[in-house]
Amino acid sequence: MWELLHGCADHYRYLAKNYDYFHKERHEAKFVSLLKYLDIQPDHIVVDIGSGTGCLAEKVFEKFQLKNPIWCVEPSAEMQEVAKRRKGVLPIQKTAGEFFKDFVDNDQRFDRAMCIGAAHHFGDPVKIYRSIESCLSPSGVLLVELVKDATNTPLFTKAEKGIDALVVGLEENTCAWLRLANFDVEVLEERMDYSVTKSKWYDMLRGRFYSSLRELNDVEIEEGIDELERERKAQRFESPRSHPHFLHVEHIYS
């Protein structure tokens, strides 16, 4: 059963009002990458597990001109309040575990399932993936997106350790869990680049836009930003990607 990690419920309650602002550039770049792998037809039934505010679901709905809304499974009431205002979104305020437990006797089958940047919240991944597999149509596909490497992301030391705790080994484990759930697994790597202003990036850090940042207090965040400032001043004229007001952000997804 997918349960929010300790402190996550409060984190997303706090984050919901700024979530789309913080992730705007990231989601725009991510959607361009996802289009390469989302083979969706207008009559497909799609479910988004861990859908957040429904931002990506709305983009998918509009891009592929879907006839039916995307089922958006997200336990945060505050995130779902934002999702309710979106086009082509069917908000379902449940954890993945709750959703699939209630779905056992449902004849509905999904043609496509998405889990974009949410798989690290699964408490029992194999059980969740088995549930998804049982709810897919015979030709159904599950797309799982993971952060594989954030080494080129401008993070301070304590923030890097928090991200590493989430992503190290996650790809290998997820592949193993999916195979245990009877999926044929194909791994594709996508490099995603985007830029944000320096001031916005610091706002994102202060707003704990990554769930792992919730473990850090305000003093630690400010100390981390000071660390980044010192590094930037030392490297500003050494890197072609460096700029006093903009940050280049690079993630590797698989």
Least confident segment among 108-122, 141-155, 186-200: 141-155
- For position 245, what pLDDT does the model report? 42
| Sign of CA pseudo-dihedral 25, 178, 37, 112 | negative
The answer on pLDDT for 135 being more than 50 is yes
**Between residues 68 and 196, which one has the greater pLDDT?**
68
Position 44 confidence tier, pLDDT thresholds 50, 70, 90: very high
The answer on pLDDT for 176 being more than 60 is yes
The sheet carrying 70-73 orders its strands as 89-92, 70-73, 46-49, 110-116, 136-145
Average pLDDT over the chain reads 86
- For position 152, what pLDDT does the model report? 66
Position 149 confidence tier, pLDDT thresholds 50, 70, 90: low
Tens digits of residue pLDDT in 13-37: 888 999 999 999 989 988 988 888 8
Going by DSSP bridges, is the β-strand pair 246-253/147-149 parallel, antiparallel, or unpaired? Answer: antiparallel
The answer on pLDDT for 70 being more than 70 is yes
Which residues neighbour 162 within 8 Å (Cβ) at sequence distance 6 or greater?
A: 210, 212, 213, 215, 216
Query: Which pair of tokens denotes residue 99?
Result: 């959703």
